């Protein structure tokens, strides 16, 4: 079984049945998983921050770092790989939070808000989410079955 | 309320963990003197060079890293002072600590459900984040001291981990259901001590400078620090930033709270924090890919 590892600010797309697309150690970062209903085309994006305005140069080099540049790029690349703009199933995992009344450290929450806003602009919305809480997550998706699994140290793994 | 048997068990556990601290080898004298020098505000890079040049093994490692692919600039560096200037004092300290303590930093932390190398990754990210965070302190904090404190802050986990084995799920459950305030409190409930206290005991055994001792002991409760609060709050926030960025040590990742009093010592907003996360991500990739793979290869 081949596994494609997706780093922070990166994305991967696969249409090889049986392949696994995986990203490790999501804290406040969010994995955006997009797949066609038959799960033959799967994309996974690892978003680190909400807005690209904070570093335009980096956004050009690695658009996947930010929600507002990463999601359009993921969808554009999926089109190149055969997505015909038909229905897409979106799942989200990550966006962990730490309680901070000053709101400075609530990056996970800000990431999720930005991601939902960008998805909405493409008339897309998540059908399942495993987000928030103060936990670290690893997530992977099986191309072909479309099964999405989330795991966290000390908590085991579960299907999303 | 605890029973007598329970209290006796806790005392035995604390004794056993304390014995582990005594079993840890003392730091090589060059490293402990290096940390002592870094702890002084008036030190210069020449003080660092003078210490390193008396240690052949460390000199070799510093030169090797300075000439490796990611840090080299296509020209061979043969002088230690140029290598130290080229890499920066913080990286030299990282090389010194990383190369003399692999048995502490590179081991898997079974009790935390953490794989080999994760403690070092988390420590390095915390060091980078703390160095950035203290730039926002109301009073100046040495960036070298901040980096070193971040690098060492969780060393107590290496000693306490085995005593948590088999209890990881219960500790996570305890945090999740709110029986303990955070993972540190869960460690206290189970063992009668925690990784911050044990890290502090080790820091004392190693005769580390007072600011580093304070950072190890109080990094989860910086409001309790008697002194060096800018530094201790810096490590506290640097640690959280590293965890938010996806680097922790297994089951306790993110299972801590932000101590909200930080605004009295540091002023940073959400854009500042976003920038810090980007810097840490970028520098970590560069550093991990070069320095520490180089050290691993040379071991």
- CA separation for the pair A133, A146 (Å, rounded): 25
What ipTM does the predicted assembly reach? 0.91
What was the pLDDT predicted at B234?
97
Distance to chain B for A26, nearest Cα, Å: 5
Residue B270 and residue A134: Cβ atoms within 8 Å? no
What DSSP character marks residue B169?
A: H
Query: pLDDT band at residue B71, thresholds of 50, 70 and 90?
Result: low
Residue B235 has pLDDT above 50, yes or no: yes
> Measured between CA atoms, how close is A64 to chain B, in angstroms?
13
CB pairs < 8 Å spanning A and B:
102
B109 vs B15: CA distance, rounded Å:
20
Count of structural domains within chain A: 1
**A3 interfaces chain B, CB cutoff of 8 Å:** no
Q: What values do phi and psi take at B251, rounded to 5?
A: -65, -25
Q: What is the pLDDT of residues B148-183, one digit of tens each?
A: 899 889 999 998 999 999 988 888 888 888 776 789
Q: Which residues of B touch A108 (CB under 8 A)?
A: 244
B66 versus B275: the higher-pLDDT residue is B275
pLDDT tier at A129, thresholds 50, 70, 90: very high
Query: Using N-to-C axis directions, what is the helix angle for B143-152 and B210-218, rounded to 10°?
Result: 50
Check if the beta carbon of residue B76 is closer than 8 Å to that of residue B56: no
pLDDT at A26: 95
Question: Rounded mean pLDDT of chain A?
Answer: 94
Q: Which residues pair with A32 in a beta bridge?
A: A45, A92
pLDDT > 70: what percent of chain B? 89
Count other C-beta atoms under 10 Å from residue A151's C-beta.
14
Provide the pLDDT for residue A141: 97
User: Active site residue: A21, A26, A29, A160, which one?
Assistant: A29
Does A29 participate in catalysis according to the annotation?
A: yes
Instruction: Please write the tens of the pLDDT for every residue from A14-47.
Output: 999 999 999 998 999 999 999 999 999 999 999 9
Match 């869960």 to its residue by tokens: B186
Residue B98, pLDDT score: 74
A51-65, A88-102, B52-66: which range is least confident on average?
A: B52-66
What is the per-residue pLDDT for B236? 97
Q: What is the pLDDT of residue B3?
A: 61
pLDDT of B72 higher than 60: no
Domain enclosing residue A61, as ranges: 3-159
Q: Which chain B residues are Cβ-neighbours of A93 within 8 angstroms? A: none
| Residue range A70-80: mean pLDDT, rounded | 96
Look at the domain B4-298 and name its fold.
Hypothetical protein af1432 (1.10.3210)
Show which residues on chain B lie within 8 Å of chain A, measured between beta carbons. 112-114, 168-169, 171-172, 240, 243-248, 250-251, 253-258, 260, 263, 268-275, 277-278, 281
Provide the whole-model pTM: 0.87
Rank A80-94, B170-184, B281-295 by mean pLDDT and report only the highest. Answer: A80-94
Q: Are B241 and B258 in contact (CB under 8 A)?
A: no
In chain B, domain spans: 4-298
Question: Greater confidence, B130 or B44?
Answer: B130
Q: pLDDT band for position B205 (50/70/90)? A: confident
pLDDT, position B298: 46
pLDDT at position A51 over 90: yes
For residue B287, pLDDT beyond 90: no
CATH of the domain at A18: 3.30.1330.200
């Amino acid at each position: 079984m081949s596994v494609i590892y997706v780093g922070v600010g990166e994305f991967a797309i696969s249409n090889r049945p049986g392949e696994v697309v995986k990203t490790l150690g999501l804290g406040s970062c969010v994995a955006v998983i997009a797949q066609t209903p038959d799960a033959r085309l799967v994309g996974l994006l690892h978003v680190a921050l909400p807005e690209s305005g904070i570093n335009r140069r980096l956004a050009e080099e690695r658009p996947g770092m930010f929600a507002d540049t990463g999601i359009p790029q993921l969808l554009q690349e999926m089109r190149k790989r055969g997505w015909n703009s038909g229905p897409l199933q979106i799942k989200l995992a990550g966006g962990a939070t730490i309680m901070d009344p000053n709101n400075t450290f609530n990056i996970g929450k800000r990431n999720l808000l930005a991601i939902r806003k960008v998805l909405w602009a493409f008339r897309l919305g998540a059908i399942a989410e495993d987000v928030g809480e103060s936990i670290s997550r690893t997530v992977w998706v099986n191309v072909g079955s479309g099964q999405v699994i989330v795991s966290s140290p000390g908590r085991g793994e579960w299907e999303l | 309320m605890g029973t007598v048997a329970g209290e006796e068990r806790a005392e035995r556990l604390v004794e056993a963990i304390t014995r582990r601290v005594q079993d840890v080898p003392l730091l090589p004298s060059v490293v402990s003197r290096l940390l002592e020098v870094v702890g002084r505000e008036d030190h210069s890079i020449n003080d660092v060079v003078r210490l390193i040049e008396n240690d052949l093994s460390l000199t070799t490692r510093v030169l090797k890293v300075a000439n490796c692919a990611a840090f080299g600039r296509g020209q061979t560096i043969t002088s230690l002072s140029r290598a130290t200037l080229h890499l920066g004092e913080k990286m030299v300290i990282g090389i010194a600590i990383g190369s003399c303590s692999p048995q502490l930093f590179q081991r898997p932390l079974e009790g935390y459900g953490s794989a080999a190398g994760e403690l070092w990754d988390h420590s390095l990210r915390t060091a980078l984040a703390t160095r950035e965070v203290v730039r926002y302190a109301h009073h100046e904090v040495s960036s070298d001291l901040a980096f070193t404190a971040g690098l060492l802050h969780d060393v107590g986990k290496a000693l306490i981990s085995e005593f948590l084995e088999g209890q990881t799920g219960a500790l996570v459950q305890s945090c999740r259901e709110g029986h303990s305030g955070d993972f540190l409190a869960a460690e206290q409930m189970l063992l009668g001590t925690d990784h911050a206290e044990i890290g502090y005991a080790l820091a004392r055994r190693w005769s580390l400078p007072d600011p580093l001792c304070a950072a190890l002991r109080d990094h989860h409760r910086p409001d309790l620090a008697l002194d060096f609060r800018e530094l201790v709050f810096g490590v506290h926030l640097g640690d959280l930033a590293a965890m938010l960025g996806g680097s922790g040590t297994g089951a306790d990742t993110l299972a801590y709270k932000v101590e909200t009093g930080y605004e009295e010592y540091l002023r940073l907003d959400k854009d500042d924090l976003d920038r810090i996360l980007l810097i840490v991500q970028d520098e970590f990739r560069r550093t991990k890919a070069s320095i520490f793979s180089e050290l691993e290869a040379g071991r």
